[in-house]
Amino acid sequence: MTMEIVKAKTSRDDKQMLGFMLIIVCYLVVALALPLYAILSKSFKNHDGDFIGFANYLEYFSTPALTYSIQNSLTISILTMVISVTVAFILAYALNRSCMRFKSVFKVIALVPILVPSLLPGIALVYLFGQQGMIKSLLMGYEIYGPIGIVISEVFFTLPHALIIITTALSIADSRLYEAADSLKTSKIKTFFTVTLPGARYGLISAAFVVFTLTITDFGAPKVIGGGYNVLATDIYKQVVGQQNFEMGAVVSLVLLLPAAVAFFVDRLVQRKQVAVLSAKAVALEPKPNKAFDLVMLGYCLLVAVFILGILFTCQYAALVEFYPYNLTLGFTNYQFDLMDGGGWDSFYNSLELASWTAVIGTIMVFLGAYMVEKGKGFNMGRGLFQFLAMLPMAVPGLVLGLAYIFFFNSPNNPLGFLYHTMGILVISTVTHFYTVSHLTAITALKQMDREFESVAASLKAPFHRTFRKITVPVCLPAILDISIYLFVNAMTTVSAVVFLYGPHTNLASVAVLNMDDAGDIAPAAAMGMMIFYTNAVVRILHGFLTRGVLKKTQLWRIR
């Protein structure tokens, strides 16, 4: 008997799929791995590009003014984490486990912060609690500029992210557990601590890490409302834009990369556990009415809604008031962006262009990549590399990515240098920055399809691209549309990666908010911020209609 190991012949399909996958791997190497390598090596060099070992790091850690920011960053992030997760948990609990009214309204309101740049809550807080704030007295003499302002802004900014994760965790609860607890005459409070909390624990941990990462890497809030309170993210910006000290910027970047990366990997571990919980066959829980409880929950949701909408209305008010607090007539003076520094209305149109390109190119690339890596065969090393590269962007703060791009693309011997300052590099950086979540959405949708579709198609001699077009794309269309709106909205609001990359002709709306605020034109900054919000809101609504229309037309099969 021959004991030769059988090596499968690769079919033409396999080869083509491999080819596509390698193209996207190449993209990720150029747009992610190489820039990260560039920033790493930069941190070991001096101004003239000579290798100096850990000298930059030594300088960093012996400068208390700089290392103090580590402590500040951690303080802010942990505080935000605790507050945001708590607020989100109660909110999710109200939306999942009570019978209060207006649930869907509150759900929409709670997701609003996703649609605005993280700079916006800071601006609102200035109007509310600043030197001449409308309700300054509520702070009882405390200063809004600094940790208080940052934490409030970050809670606003991170709340929807935490809410989405915790809602998922709560919604997979098994009603049989609650019936069991009920039949054992367990008190409601005890049931909460013995059934509800443990059931949601992975969701809570995951939400905590996501909030922590978002906060420690966010740059918008501390920039606007941080005052003299330095954090790692603002230090990077100051080192690079203020002092042109790129090497030190690289060092701070790597310091910031560490906690973000750790939080990310721990979160991945936890998520894997969550899957096991999910796959158990559970019976969905139907909440029962309870007047007092429902009323308390309604009150709580109202409070959260007031917080979120209050910030939004304040910004809109600030944008419309002629000259706060001296001339309170309303008008559109502040919308004359062309009269200010910051790029004018062009920056708004640039943002629209960036968001559209990012949505289109990003969606195609992400979904194709996910398909190839999920459904292709063989070449497991390449597949592993792809998965790793696709997960990496989540662990890389936007500022670090942006700075890495400067080092990589702006280096004189890079043939891709022509991209610098163009719309092209903005699209590349944004697609890369938001790659992970999109990739995971695509993978989840692909995994939900019967894994034998491809086997059947192969037996019917259908080439993979036919099955991809005829079956995979139509079946995954809802997920594909979700990816595109996610990319669009984030491209509109992002500041961190692009702030280092925009050029004189490619200024962006979100960056304009930052720059106008920096220059003291706070009202126009608020006006521009609200423009971003309205754009995202409109696109979101259009997306809703489109999704529904497309589903109606192409997905008749979903209706039974």
b/e 524-556 (16+ beta carbons within 10 angstroms → b):
bbbbbbbbbbebbeebbeebeeebeeeeeeeee
Yes or no: say if 524 and 337 are a contact pair by the CB < 8 Å rule: yes
Residues 406-425 that bind other proteins (CB under 8 A): none
Phi, psi of 281 (to 5 degrees): -80, 110
Six token digits for residue 446: 């692909």
**To the nearest whole angstrom, how small is the minimum distance from the Cβ of residue 533 to other proteins?**
36
Q: How far is the CB of 444 from other proteins (least distance, A)?
A: 17
Q: Is 335 in the site for other proteins (CB under 8 A)?
A: no
- The answer to the question of residue 558 lying near other proteins (CB under 8 A) is yes
What is the C-alpha separation between 21 and 429, in angstroms, rounded? 20
Rounded to whole angstroms, the Cα distance separating 366 from 369 reads 5
Q: 200 vs 476, which CB is nearer to other proteins?
A: 476
- Asked whether position 279 contacts other proteins by CB under 8 A, the answer is no
CA dist., res. 334 & res. 328, Å (int): 13
Q: Which of 460, 520, 545, 553 binds other proteins (CB under 8 A)?
A: 460
By the 8 A CB rule, do 121 and 129 touch? no
455 binds other proteins per the rule CB under 8 A: yes
560 scored as a contact of other proteins (CB under 8 A): yes
Question: What are the beta bridge partners of residue 193?
Answer: none
> Beta 327-330 vs 321-323: how paired, if at all?
antiparallel
Provide the minimum distance between the beta carbon of 462 and other proteins in the complex, in angstroms, as a whole number: 5
Q: What are phi and psi of 291, to 5 degrees?
A: -50, -55
Residue among 17 and 396 whose Cβ is closer to other proteins: 17
Pick 505 or 558: Cβ nearer other proteins: 558
Applying CB under 8 A, does 555 fall inside the site for other proteins?
Answer: yes
Query: Which of 453, 456, 486 is closest to 472 using CA atoms?
Result: 453
Report in angstroms how near the CB of residue 18 gets to other proteins at its nearest.
Answer: 13
| Spatial separation of the C-alpha atoms in residues 317 and 297, rounded to whole Å | 29
The residue from 82, 139, 277, 458 that contacts other proteins (CB under 8 A) is 458
Angstrom distances, CA of residue 67 to CA of 24, 64, 224, 235, 260: 38, 5, 21, 10, 17
Rounded Cα gap, residues 302 and 104, in angstroms: 13
Stretch that binds other proteins, among 54-62, 80-88, 329-337, 464-472 (CB under 8 A): 464-472
The verdict on 551 binding other proteins (CB under 8 A) reads: no
Q: Is 183 in the site for other proteins (CB under 8 A)?
A: no
Tell me how far apart the alpha carbons of residues 150 and 531 are, in angstroms, rounded to a whole number: 23
Instruction: Concatenate the DSSP letters of all residues of 288-324 into one string.
Output: ---HHHHHHHHHHHHHHHHHHHHHHHHHHHHHHEEET
Cβ-based nearer residue to other proteins, 329 or 459:
459
Taking CB under 8 A as the rule, does residue 462 contact other proteins? yes
Minimum CB distance to other proteins, residue 468 (Å): 12
Nearest to 317 by CA among 329, 299, 326, 308: 329
Residue closer to other proteins, measured from CB, 48 or 452: 452
Residue 465 near other proteins by CB under 8 A:
no
Closest to 398 measured CA to CA, from 499, 277, 542: 499
11 binds other proteins (CB under 8 A): yes
State the nearest-atom distance from the C-beta of 459 to other proteins, in Å.
5
State phi, psi for 45 to the nearest 5 degrees.
Answer: -120, 160
Q: Which of 137, 329, 413, 459 is in the footprint of other proteins by CB under 8 A?
A: 459
Comparing CB distances to other proteins, the nearer of 179 and 450 is 450
- Contact between 512 and other proteins (CB under 8 A)? no
What does the per-residue mask of binding to other proteins show for 474-493, with x meaning CB under 8 A?
Answer: xx------------------
d(CA 93, CA 77): 23
Binding region for other proteins (CB under 8 A) out of 261-269, 282-290, 400-408, 453-461: 453-461
* Contact flag: residue 13 with other proteins (CB under 8 A): yes
Minimum gap (Å) between residue 560 Cβ and other proteins: 5
- Which residue has 């609990």 as its token pair? 93
Interaction between residue 461 and other proteins (CB under 8 A): yes
Mark residues 433-452: x for contact with other proteins by CB under 8 A, - for none. Answer: -----------------x-x
Nearer Cβ to other proteins (10/244): 10
By CB under 8 A, is residue 16 in contact with other proteins?
no
**Inter-CA distances, 161 with 212, 270, 292, 297, 547, Å:** 11, 16, 29, 20, 22
556: contact with other proteins by CB under 8 A: yes
Q: Does 552 bind other proteins (CB under 8 A)?
A: no
Site size toward other proteins, by CB under 8 A: 37
Q: Is 471 in the site for other proteins (CB under 8 A)?
A: yes
Q: Which of 61, 265, 379, 453 binds other proteins (CB under 8 A)?
A: 453
SS3 labels along 65-127: HHHHHHHHHHHHHHHHHHHHHHHHHHHHHHHHHCCCCCHHHHHHHHHHHHHCCCHHHHHHHHH
Q: To the nearest whole angstrom, how small is the minimum distance from the Cβ of residue 312 to other proteins?
A: 40
Per CB under 8 A, the list member of 456, 519, 541, 542 interacting with other proteins is 456
- 542 near other proteins, judged by CB under 8 A: no
Instruction: Please report how the helices 201-217 and 64-97 are oriented relative to each other, as an axis angle in degrees rounded to 10.
Output: 140
Shortest separation between residue 380's beta carbon and other proteins, angstroms: 13
φ and ψ of 322, to 5 deg: -60, -55
The residue among 436, 381, 487 whose CA lies nearest residue 114 is 487
101 in the Ramachandran plot: left (φ > 0), alpha (ψ -120 to 50) or beta? beta
381 lines the binding site for other proteins (CB under 8 A): no
65 binds other proteins (CB under 8 A): no
Looking at the Cβ atoms of 5 and 381, the one nearer to other proteins is: 5
Interacting residues with other proteins (CB under 8 A): 1-11, 13-14, 450, 452-453, 455-463, 466, 470-471, 474-475, 554-560
